[in-house]
Amino acid sequence: MTEFGDATLTRDVVATLQRWRMDAERMQIALVTYLGVDVGGTNTRIGVINEGERILALKNPGPDQPKSGAFLAVVKFKCSTVEDLREKLRLVGQQLLTAIKDRPISAVVSVAGPVTENGRKVSLTNYIGEKDLTVDDLPSILFNAGSTRFLNDLASTCQGINSLAEDGRINKYFDQLWSPYPVPADLRLNPTNYLVLSMGTGLGCGVLAILPNGIHEVIALETGHLTVTTVGPNEPGYAQEVQFLEWLSQKIYGGRHAVEWEDICSGRGLQSCYQYMVRNDASSDKTLSSEIIAKRAVEEVHDPHCRSALFLHYKFLFRTAQELCVGLNCKSFFLTGDNQISNNPFVKTMCEELLAEFRNHPKRHWIEDNVCFRQTRRTELNLRGALYSARAIALIAKAEKDVTRSERKQQIRVPHPVWGLPPLALGAALCYGWLVYSKRL
């Protein structure tokens, strides 16, 4: 192991970074890079975009070349404490600076946890021990605190979708659940709101909200903590749902609170669904992990209890998608994440049941034509989103500098009130001044 440990950049990465620098020196231009960091509970991933290569991609796009510029995956390392994170980021910065001579002009760090102070502070909920981190705490060898921001991980996922849409590459990673047709190539986001959901440790929720200028603004939500709704009292399955929710409320809250969507639509939620299914079966192993439950549910010779639990898990996910699409006026929604990719065969099999669940609402006509995009291939969606946001920060900062520079030039060029007069008015002013002077003489 080298002096940099698992934060060591590979030879190929270093060679690419050095080539970027030499190309910029040869063309006598500045090497402009943006940094993205995806901080997970166990692993941290770092990527960089070279603005010069992005411009080349725009001018000469290849068949699979992202128009926003392919990012370079710099390094991936294990980390679960703030102290270890800071040190490994410093080591990465040391190697990056050696290779390209200048630190990235802007950076975005995707994190799990509440982000405050306009993106300058985060509490890392999935870390051990100390959890608070500010942009000023990050190593200055890699980060410029003034142009560095934290971004909630689900917001990063949303920005990753924005990035794919800008590149016309949504069809590479998503398909349409309720349609026999593939996602069209070069699909762009329509001028409407999109809901984004991701089931993992919790239930991540966000919206790509359309603005009057046609831009999709990301809004990170905490709607996974809203309380669950049931079907109507005269609908089939009502009594069973009430029984399940009462059991789950007793299990989690001692019956003192209603159940949240995240209590069902998450890894621990899937475990609870399974435990409910086998509650009266003394021979069943009630300690199965969510990964094992999901795996046994989709096997050719599947475990019926695991399969019932996974369906219950997804039934409530599609119901929360229904509630949010109605309430936020979303015309489509995305299901993202590695768990979704793994569960795709099961979701496809239960497609008609889940569609019926989604449409079962008094305002059915509002959501009847909604499209469900489900992720089918793995990609660094959070890292893409962080890099996409880092570039946006740099562009905004540049625009602000340009405006300031323009205002200063205008102030410098402001003429004296007299010399700025039209020729006739200037002549009249000079004549009047001469007459006044003559009278004094």
Q: Which one, of 242, 214, 218, lies nearest residue 228 by Cα?
A: 242
Q: Does the domain at residues 5-153+383-399 carry the CATH identifier 3.30.420.40?
A: yes
pLDDT at 42: 85
Spans of all domains in the chain: 5-153+383-399, 194-379
Tokens of 174: 């998503």
**Torsional class of 214: left (φ above 0), alpha (ψ -120 to 50), beta (otherwise):** left
Tokens of 159: 């920005």
Q: What is the DSSP letter of 260?
A: B
Taking the CA of residue 52 as centre, how many other CA atoms within 13 Å lie in the half-sphere pointing to its CB? Answer: 16
- 226-229 long-range contacts, CB within 8 A, separation 24+: 226/260, 226/261, 226/320, 226/323, 227/257, 227/258, 227/259, 227/260, 227/261, 228/258, 228/259, 228/260, 228/261, 228/263, 228/264, 228/316, 228/319, 228/320, 229/319, 229/323
Q: Would 5-153+383-399 and 194-379 be classified into the same CATH topology?
A: no
pLDDT at 187: 85
Domain range 194-379, CATH architecture: 3-Layer(aba) Sandwich (3.40)
What secondary structure, in 3-state letters, does 118-176 show? CCCEEECCCCCCCCEEEHHHCCCCCCCHHHEEEEEHHHHHHHHHHHHHHHCCHHHHEEE
pLDDT at 418: 41
pLDDT at 18: 94
Q: Which one, of 312, 277, 278, 306, lies nearest residue 292 by Cα?
A: 306
pLDDT at 182: 85
What gap in Å lies between CA 262 and CA 274, rounded to an integer? 15
Kindly give the pairing relationship between strand 371-375 and strand 174-176.
antiparallel
pLDDT at 311: 97
Residue 127 burial (CB count, 10 A): 23
- Written as one letter, the residue type at 139 is P
pTM confidence score: 0.83
Q: Which one, of 371, 323, 70, lies nearest residue 203 by Cα?
A: 323
Tokens of 67: 């128009």
pLDDT tens digits, the chain, 441 residues: what are they? Answer: 456 778 999 999 999 999 999 999 998 988 999 999 999 888 999 999 998 776 555 455 454 444 444 688 899 999 999 999 999 999 999 999 999 999 999 999 999 888 999 999 999 988 999 999 999 999 999 999 999 999 999 999 999 999 999 888 899 999 999 888 888 888 889 999 999 999 988 899 999 999 999 999 999 898 999 999 999 999 999 999 999 999 999 999 999 999 999 999 999 999 999 999 999 998 889 999 999 999 999 888 899 999 999 999 999 999 999 999 999 999 999 999 999 999 999 999 999 999 999 999 999 999 999 999 999 999 889 999 999 999 999 888 776 666 555 556 555 554 444 434 444 444 544 445 544 445 544
| Contact indicator for 255, 249 with CB cutoff of 8 Å | yes
Spell out a b/e string for 253-275, using b for 16 or more CB atoms within 10 Å of the CB, else e: eeeeeebbbbbbbbbebbbbbbb
| 247: three-class secondary structure by DSSP | helix
| Contact indicator for 132, 121 with CB cutoff of 8 Å | yes
